[in-house]
Amino acid sequence: MSQTGLPARRSAVYLLDQLLGEGRLMSELLGAGVLDRLEPEDRARAARLAQDTLRGLERADRILQKHLSKYPPLTVRNALRVATVELCHGAAGHGVVNAMVELVSRHNRYAHLKGLTNAVLRKVAADGPEAWNALRAPRLPKWLRGPLTEAWGADAMAAMEAAHFAGAPLDLTAKTDAAAVAEATGGVLLPNGSVRVKDAGQVSAMPGFSDGDWWVQDAAASVAVSVLDPQAGESVLDLCAAPGGKTMQIAATGAAVTAVDDSASRMQRVSENLERTGLKAKLVTSDVRKMTGTYDAILLDAPCSATGTIRRHPDLPHAKDGSEFGELIELQEHFIDHAWKLLKPGGRMVFCTCSLLPDEGEVQVEEALARHADMSCDTAIPAGIDPAWQTEEGGIRLRPDYWADAGGMDGFYIACLRKTA
C-alpha cells in the first residue's frame, strides 16, 4: 500500500462520483476493473473507504454543512466526505488533511478549491469526532424507508438501520468441517453452522481458501439450502445460481446439482468457485424460463431488489430508486410458475429472495399458493433458526437486526413449497 494512501483515497472518491453522480453500482464498477491498477492493499482500502463513506453519508454531510456556506462540486464534496469519515473514525488528522488537499490540488478543474478543502477539514479534525458520535444512525432514503417502515414498524426500521450502519463481518460456509474452519480462521460458529470472522483482511490469504475448505456466504443466504435439505443422489436444480454459494452447498451434500444463470460472466465465477473447492455441478447458461426436465428438488433464488443486503452493499439505496420493483415482482411470479412445472410430484422447491419487501417474499408465496392447488408450504424450521422468525404463510423471514449482538445478518425471505405426490 502506498505510504500516503493517495491512490486508495483518489479511487474511493472516484467510486463515490460514479455511485452518487451516475447511479452505478459498486459491483458493476469493481467488475469492470476500475480498481485493477491498484496494489491489492490499496484496492481493498479504496473499496472499504467508499463503503464506509456511504454508510456514514448522512453523518458526514451533517458535520460538513456546519463548515460550508454552499456545497462544492461533487468530486470535492466526495473528497470531503471520505476525509470526514476517516477523521471521525480516528484516523490521524495531519495525514488525512494533507492527503485530501493534495488530491484536490492535482485535479484539473478543482485545484483552486484546495484552500477550502484544507480549511474545512482542519475544522472537522478538531470537532468532527465528538459530533459524529452524537448523531443518529443514518436513515435509508425515503423511497425505501417508507415501505419498509410500513411493513415492519418504526422500531424494527431503526434497528435495521443501525445494523446497516454497523456493516457486516465476513461469513464463511465450510465444505465439510465448520469447527475446523472456525479454528483455522479465528472465527466463531453461528447457530446455523456458518463461521463468522471479524476484521478478516484479504480473503484469498486466509487459511483454507486456496485449499477450497470454505467459501464466502452470508449466514442468512446459507439458510435457504438448509431449508431445502438436499440429499445425496437427488437431482437438484439451482436457479439464478451465480455466484455459486448455494450451488456449492448443495454439491457438498452429494446431490447431483444443475446450476442455471443467464449471465456467462457470472457463471464463470461459479465455475471458478467449484474448481477451487473441488465440488461438482452441471453448469447451464440460460434464461430460467427456457429450462426443461424434472427434478427432485429446486432452489429458486429469484432476482429481487436486494434490499436485504444493504449492510454489505451500502451503495444500493443510492444507486436505485424503487422504480424496478414492479417488474421484479412480476418476473418472480413467472419464475415460480415455470420452476413449479420442473418439479417432480412429491418434490420440494425453495423460493427465496434477499429482499426486505413483503411483496417479494410473504405476499409472493401467498399468491403462489392460491394459484397452484398442488402446492403447500412446509413449515419445518432448520437448526439455528428462531421459530419466532416463521411467517404466517409458513416461510421464514430474516432481517439485518437479527443476531444484532453477533453482527447481524442479511435480510432474506425463504419458503419451502411441497408438490402433491
Q: Residues with Cβ < 8 Å from 356, sequence gap 6 or more?
A: 148, 151, 152, 160, 307, 308, 399, 400, 411
* CATH of residue 186: 3.30.70
Number of H helices, E strands in the chain: 17, 12
* CATH of residue 47: 1.10.940.10
In the chain, the number of structural domains is: 3
The percent of residues above 70 in pLDDT, for the chain, comes to 99
The pLDDT of residue 200: 85
How far apart are the C-alpha atoms of 153 and 195, rounded to whole Å? 31
**Domain co-membership, 295 together with 240:** yes
Domain stops at, among 159, 193, 217 = 217
- With bands split at pLDDT 50, 70 and 90, how would you rate the model's confidence at 1? very low
In a domain, 35, yes or no: yes
How far apart are the C-alpha atoms of 253 and 231, rounded to whole Å? 6
Grid cell at residue 163: 445494523
**Domain co-membership, 376 together with 402:** yes
Kindly report the backbone phi and psi dihedral angles of residue 72, in degrees, each rounded to the nearest multiple of 5, phi listed first.
Answer: -75, 175
pLDDT in tens, 173-192: 999 999 999 999 999 999 99
In a domain, 272, yes or no: yes
pLDDT at 6 over 70: yes
What's the whole-number mean pLDDT along residues 155-165?
97
**Domain co-membership, 43 together with 53:** yes
215: helix, coil or strand? strand
In a domain, 224, yes or no: yes
The percent of residues above 90 in pLDDT, for the chain, comes to 94
What's the whole-number mean pLDDT along residues 346-362?
98
**Domain co-membership, 200 together with 233:** no
Q: Report whether 47 contacts 26 (CB < 8 A).
A: yes
Grid cell at residue 16: 463515490
**Domain co-membership, 407 together with 274:** yes
In a domain, 163, yes or no: no
Domain range for 126 is 6-134
pLDDT in tens, 205-249: 999 999 999 999 999 999 999 999 999 999 999 999 999 999 999
In a domain, 151, yes or no: no
Q: Residue 124 to residues 1, 88, 93, 119: CA-CA distances in angstroms?
A: 26, 8, 9, 9
The pLDDT of residue 2: 54
Domain stops at, among 112, 134, 156 = 134
**Domain co-membership, 34 together with 174:** no
In a domain, 139, yes or no: no
Domain stops at, among 134, 156, 191 = 134
Nearest one of 129, 20, 26, 138 to 85, comparing CA atoms: 129
**Domain co-membership, 204 together with 233:** no
* CATH of residue 235: 3.40.50.150
pLDDT in tens, 65-82: 999 999 999 999 999 999
On average, the pLDDT of the chain sits at 96
Q: Please state the separation of Cα 50 from the chain's center in Å.
A: 15
In a domain, 67, yes or no: yes
pLDDT at 60 over 70: yes
**Domain co-membership, 294 together with 375:** yes
The pLDDT of residue 202: 83
**Residues annotated as part of the active site:** 354
292: helix, coil or strand? coil
**Domain co-membership, 272 together with 412:** yes
**Domain co-membership, 303 together with 241:** yes
Nearest one of 44, 32, 56 to 8, comparing CA atoms: 44
Instruction: Report DSSP letters for 26-66, one per residue.
Output: HHHHHHTTTTTTS-HHHHHHHHHHHHHHHHTHHHHHHHHGG
Cis peptide before 141, with omega less than 30 degrees from 0? Answer: no
What's the whole-number mean pLDDT along residues 145-155?
97
**Domain co-membership, 342 together with 290:** yes
How far apart are the C-alpha atoms of 10 and 419, rounded to whole Å? 54
What's the whole-number mean pLDDT along residues 382-389?
95
pLDDT in tens, 301-310: 999 999 999 9
What's the whole-number mean pLDDT along residues 6-35?
94
Q: Residues with Cβ < 8 Å from 239, sequence gap 6 or more?
A: 260, 288, 291, 298, 299, 300, 301, 302, 335, 339
pLDDT at 105 over 90: yes
The pLDDT of residue 3: 53
φ/ψ bin of 411: left (φ > 0), alpha (ψ from -120 to 50), beta (otherwise): beta
**Domain co-membership, 78 together with 179:** no
In a domain, 97, yes or no: yes
Enter the pTM of the model.
Answer: 0.93
